[in-house]
């Protein structure tokens, strides 16, 4: 299983968001391994995207979106939830990231169920905050390099035939942009 190279993430954010669908994300916790197929992503860009964290100005929190691609950007929100992003952008753009909204677990499901406190497969990882909880992603994972074999990385996955584009979820600006992408998994 080959890890996606950093060049994979140096295209336009929206393009990378589509390309990430069907790829496999692997998370290692001590001796246990959790992995799943990415089935839903959202693109967040820069000046042309009022809903993006990077829209206004650079701050301590969003500076990762302006940095090197292929780096994890984790942020905390609503007092209880983490969301997991991967920095991805065209070299001409200053900032951009892909939010991983949902995965399809294929390995370490028991561990995920334990993390989430439930066993219902459909509710394990079908939301950004659920996904982070399932993979034990916290602020400590902010800045992790997913192009290197470590505790958190992304590899080639399955081929996806059909991509569905929809409007992004949970935001109040630029809601007409169809930058939410998902695939069907059998």
Partner DNA sequence: TTGAGGATTGGCT
Partner DNA sequence: GCCAATCCTCAAA
Task: List contacts with DNA (CB under 7 A).
Answer: 42, 44, 51-54, 56-57, 59-62, 65, 73, 75-81, 83, 85, 97, 99, 123, 127-130, 139, 169-172
Token readout for 10 is: 């140096």
CA 8 to chain centre: 14
Q: Which is nearer to DNA, 2 or 120 (CB)?
A: 120
- The Cα–Cα gap between 32 and 171 comes to 35
Q: Which is nearer to DNA, 161 or 172 (CB)?
A: 172
- Helix extents (H) in the chain: 13-20, 109-116, 128-134
Q: Which is nearer to DNA, 158 or 171 (CB)?
A: 171
Q: Which is nearer to DNA, 149 or 175 (CB)?
A: 175
DSSP string, 149-169: SSSEEEE-------EEEE--S
Name the minimum Å distance from CB 159 to DNA: 26
Name the minimum Å distance from CB 170 to DNA: 2
């Amino acid at each position: 299983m080959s890890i996606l190279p950093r060049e994979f993430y140096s295209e336009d954010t929206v393009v990378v968001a589509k390309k990430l669908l069907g790829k496999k994300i692997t998370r290692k916790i001590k001796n246990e391994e959790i992995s799943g197929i990415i089935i839903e992503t959202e693109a967040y860009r820069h000046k042309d995207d009022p809903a993006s964290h990077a829209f206004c100005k650079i701050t301590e929190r969003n500076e990762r979106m302006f940095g090197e691609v292929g780096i994890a950007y984790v942020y905390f929100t609503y007092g209880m939830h983490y969301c997991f992003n991967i920095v991805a952008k065209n070299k001409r753009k200053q900032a951009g990231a892909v939010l991983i909204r949902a995965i399809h677990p294929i390995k370490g499901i028991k561990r995920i169920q334990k993390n989430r406190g439930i066993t219902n497969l459909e509710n394990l990882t079908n939301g950004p905050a659920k996904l982070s909880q399932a993979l034990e992603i916290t602020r400590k994972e902010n800045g992790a390099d997913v192009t290197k074999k470590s505790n958190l990385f992304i590899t080639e996955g399955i081929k996806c035939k059909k991509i569905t584009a929809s409007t992004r979820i949970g935001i109040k600006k630029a809601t007409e942009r169809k930058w939410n992408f998902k695939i069907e998994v059998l």
